[in-house]
Amino acid sequence: MAFDYRSNRAPLTQLNLTPLLDTAFCLLIIFMVSAPLMTQGVEVELPQTRTVRELPADKDHLVLSVKKDGTLYIDEYKVELDQLEGHLKKLVADQKKTLFLMADKEVPYGTVVTVMGEIKAAGIDKLGVVAEEKREPAKK
């Protein structure tokens, strides 16, 4: 681009914001599409029940998963049973977050009760339990 230094007009000093806005809107669309696809926790086979409420979409909750072999995960981070109370106090009680328990359907009842006792010992009074909606067999 050539400038005519003999003219008395000043050069244009405005920025072209169109490419910047195009990039920002493209990133916004990518994040809006990919946000619902992100899941929390560890893959467990949940028990089924008639009525199910969805997990809240906000980030003010944690999911405690119990796999069928008895391993515990807070979101996707592995934690030992003897350290669970301390972790829950730091993560849930101090930060006023909601805790949801997601136990595999093959976990023994005694293990679930032990985990719930640790949750109670951490000072958490409200606990959500996650289950799948019962699938009705297809009618012919």
What DSSP string describes 36-53?
Answer: GG---S------EES--P
Instruction: Summarize the confidence of residues 93-100 as an average pLDDT.
Output: 74
Crossing angle of the two packed helices 81-88 and 109-121, in degrees rounded to 10 = 40
Task: Give the pLDDT confidence score for residue 87 in this predicted structure.
Answer: 85
Contact indicator for 119, 99 with CB cutoff of 8 Å? yes
Is the pLDDT at 53 greater than 70? The verdict is: no
Is the pLDDT at 40 greater than 90? The verdict is: no
Query: What are the extents of the domains in the chain?
Result: 48-133
Residues 25-36: tens digit of each pLDDT: 999 988 888 776
Q: Which CATH architecture has domain 48-133?
A: 2-Layer Sandwich (3.30)
Task: Give the pLDDT confidence score for residue 64 in this predicted structure.
Answer: 86
Lowest mean pLDDT among 35-39, 52-56, 89-93: 52-56
Task: Give the pLDDT confidence score for residue 99 in this predicted structure.
Answer: 83
The per-residue pLDDT of the chain, averaged, comes to: 76
Residue 100 confidence class, pLDDT cut points 50, 70, 90? confident
Residues 106-125: tens digit of each pLDDT: 888 888 888 888 888 888 87
Lowest mean pLDDT among 50-54, 122-126, 133-137: 50-54
Instruction: Give CA–CA dist 4/56, Å, rounded.
Output: 62
Contact indicator for 42, 72 with CB cutoff of 8 Å? no
